[in-house]
Amino acid sequence: MNDAMRQERRLPPFLASAGIARDFVASRLRLWGRSGQVDDGVQLIGEMFTNALIHAPSPDYVVAVDWNGGAVRLEVWDSSPSPPAVLPIDLEGEHGRGMHLIVALSEMWGCRMAASEKCVWAILPVVSCESG
């Protein structure tokens, strides 16, 4: 589904697709006049996509961005039944901080199952004043 306030992009299961997801979200936010949310949106979708790629193997992924005039919702769809988990941070480890970044950068986030797919979503905090 693609309309003026919701856009989706199907991406292959490659690490390079995380950059495509980030560029896709940034361009949508700028087009909708939400430039003040680009940095957080790019960080969020990058973490969400990379987490899905690593922890939720799928033949492909769908990245979606939705703006209803108030909140911007970011989504990553995959075919894994495993929900994401926020684990304790291992200060010595290289990995394990992605979900903590998602929690910190989003107004709220969640996960839902739909048929044979899973959607991990995050709402960007509302920005009262847009810039450039």
Residue 52 sits in a domain of what CATH number? 3.30.565.10
Torsion of CA 15, 20, 26, 32, to 10 degrees: -140
Q: Which residues of the chain have pLDDT under 70?
A: 1-4, 69, 85-97, 128-132
- Domain with 59, as residue range(s), is 6-123
Is residue 22 a part of any domain in this protein?
yes
CA 33 → CA 2, 3, 7, 28, 66, distances in Å?
18, 16, 15, 9, 13
Is residue 42 a part of any domain in this protein?
yes
pLDDT on residue 70:
77
Sorted by sequence, the CB contacts under 8 Å of residue 10 that are 6+ apart come out as: 60, 61, 62
Specify the residue for token string 């969020």. Answer: 44
Is residue 132 a part of any domain in this protein?
no
Q: How many folded domains does the chain comprise?
A: 1
Question: What predicted TM-score, i.e. pTM, was given to this entire model?
Answer: 0.86
Is residue 23 a part of any domain in this protein?
yes
pLDDT on residue 1:
46
pLDDT on residue 132:
45
Is residue 117 a part of any domain in this protein?
yes
Question: Encoding tokens for residue 120?
Answer: 């991990």
Is residue 130 a part of any domain in this protein?
no
pLDDT on residue 95:
59
pLDDT on residue 93:
60
pLDDT on residue 131:
47
